[in-house]
């Protein structure tokens, strides 16, 4: 039996290994992590991450050919193929701080593999890493390994979208495997290709050299984020001219050269990858003397920051230029629907912006815990992805007073002056907004950061409505533009 070990039981490692075990009953898969609570959660009835369909896949093969363990070293030693799916956060200090990827966890994993491996191993980069990381990992493995033990490094980046990860794994549009162009490297590529070929059509399994595979992941995320920033930039122009961004996006998306995906205007993109990977790409370009290219990609992130700031300013300026002491209902905190992930969610920056003007926030999200929300609102930028080094600042009595978290949207709306829709959860489309309006202070405002609701229907109820990129409510047309600071 082929034995696979995955180091890292997070959003990528857990679901990916579960799918391999599910589709390949003749392969033993073990997911290891130094976090005992995380491993215990994977072995429980309540998995550590929410992903539609994941429970069924895990429970169908757990303790048969899928195992979760905190015994890292022995499982590495016993495996044939080792996936490394550890954090590659943005550096918070030193050279490249705020842009470069921190490969501390990757280096630690490589040194452990070299230390315990007693037989040849195929080591697979599953984390998103900078171009040429494989070269550095090879040096660490080869200089620290036992005599006679050989390693082959492969790059197999993930292209999952949270909320649809199980569908993406079941029916991927492509699987990318990069390896050395040597007989040994190509043999390793063929071995990994054989695993995926158990359920993925061969024409969807792409093989490249190592550097192309590493760069393809960064390029894919950068181009997807660029599309979002592009339509968000257009949304500002739509509001200024009276155009409707949904109509513009539909017309543009009908061009077969462009297509309709990732053209939904919003308060901004979030998640663990887009900003981190673009900043990493910027740093790599700078290191290679490509200043103009670096500046181009940096602008994608700057437009995203601009969109969040523009949203906050719209809220404040619309509500008589102050939200001090006013209750604002925040609907949604996750960065997208069908996930409990809050990493880089636009809700954090919007909430902090409103708190900076002394608003009182009442937050409701069906999948995000109160502890997570409070931790996100008190954690410094980039520190969210450094769990071993992070000592979260405790919420002060004042911050606790200014933020409440509830599990009932209707209760949270009572006495609110305004509503900010931050996540496109389906349930927000079907809320009884008449009931919500009746319990709010007047005038009652809705600021739709995801274009979830029908603004005309809400205006009939009596709401003053702002939807990103849509023709402005008469109330807002007369307001002076707030400075973007």
Just list the catalytic residues: 273
C-alpha 230 chain-centroid distance: 19
String of DSSP letters for 108-143? HHHHHHHHH--S-EEEEE-S---TTHHHHHHHHHHH
Which residues, 6 or more positions from 456, have their beta carbon under 8 angstroms from its beta carbon? none
User: Which residue intervals of 319-368 are DSSP H helices?
Assistant: 346-356
DSSP single-letter state for residue 100: S
What's phi and psi for 41, nearest 5 deg?
Answer: -65, -40
Neighbouring C-alpha atoms within 13 Å toward the C-beta of 482:
18
CB 248, CB 238: distance < 8 Å: yes
Element (H, E) at 59: helix 54-61
The two three-digit tokens of residue 57, written as one number: 């896949």
The burial class, CB within 10 Å (0-12 / 13-18 / 19+), for 462 is middle
Give the whole-angstrom CA distance, residue 216 versus residue 247.
Answer: 32
CB 124, CB 154: distance < 8 Å: yes
């Amino acid at each position: 039996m082929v034995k696979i070990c995955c180091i890292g039981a997070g959003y990528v490692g857990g679901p990916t290994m579960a799918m391999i075990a599910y589709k390949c009953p003749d392969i033993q898969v073990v997911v290891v992590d130094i976090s005992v609570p995380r491993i215990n959660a994977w072995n429980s009835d309540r998995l550590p991450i929410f992903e539609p369909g994941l429970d069924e896949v895990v429970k169908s093969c757990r303790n048969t050919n899928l195992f979760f363990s905190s015994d890292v070293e022995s499982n590495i030693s016993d495996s044939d193929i080792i996936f490394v799916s550890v954090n590659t956060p943005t550096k918070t200090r030193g050279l490249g701080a705020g842009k470069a990827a921190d490969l501390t966890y990757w280096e630690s994993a490589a040194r452990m593999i070299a230390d315990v491996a007693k037989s040849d191993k195929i080591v697979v980069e599953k984390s998103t890493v900078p171009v040429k990381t494989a070269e550095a990992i090879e040096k660490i493995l080869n200089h620290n390994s036992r005599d006679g033990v050989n390693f082959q490094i492969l790059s197999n980046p993930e292209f999952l979208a949270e909320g649809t990860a199980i569908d993406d794994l079941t029916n991927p549009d492509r699987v990318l495997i990069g390896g050395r162009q040597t007989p040994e490297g190509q043999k390793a590529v063929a071995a990994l290709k054989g695993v995926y070929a158990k359920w993925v059509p061969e024409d969807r399994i792409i093989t490249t050299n190592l550097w192309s595979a590493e760069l393809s992941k960064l390029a894919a995320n950068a181009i997807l984020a660029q599309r979002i920033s592009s339509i968000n930039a257009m949304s500002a122009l739509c509001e200024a001219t009276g155009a409707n961004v949904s109509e513009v996006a539909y017309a543009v998306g009908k061009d077969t050269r462009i297509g309709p995906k990732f053209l939904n205007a919003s308060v901004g993109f979030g998640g663990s990858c887009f900003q981190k990977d673009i900043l990493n790409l910027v740093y790599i370009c700078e290191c290679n003397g490509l200043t103009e290219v670096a500046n181009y990609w940096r602008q994608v992130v700057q437009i995203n920051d601009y969109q969040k700031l523009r949203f906050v300013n719209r809220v404040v300026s619309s509500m008589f230029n102050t939200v001090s002491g006013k209750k604002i209902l925040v609907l949604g905190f996750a960065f997208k629907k069908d996930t409990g992930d809050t990493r880089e969610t636009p809700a954090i920056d919007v909430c902090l912006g409103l708190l900076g003007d002394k608003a009182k926030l009442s937050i409701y999200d069906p999948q995000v815990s109160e502890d997570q929300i409070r931790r996100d609102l008190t954690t410094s930028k980039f520190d969210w992805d450094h769990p071993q080094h992070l000592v979260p600042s405790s919420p002060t009595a004042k911050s606790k007073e200014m933020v409440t978290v509830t599990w009932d949207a209707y209760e949270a709306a009572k006495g609110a002056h305004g509503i900010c829709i931050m996540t496109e959860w389906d349930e927000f489309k079907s809320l009884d907004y008449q009931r919500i309006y009746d319990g709010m202070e007047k005038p009652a405002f809705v600021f739709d950061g995801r274009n979830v609701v029908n603004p005309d229907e809400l205006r009939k109820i009596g709401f003053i409505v702002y939807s990103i990129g849509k023709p402005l409510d008469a109330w807002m047309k007369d307001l002076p533009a707030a400075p973007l600071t």
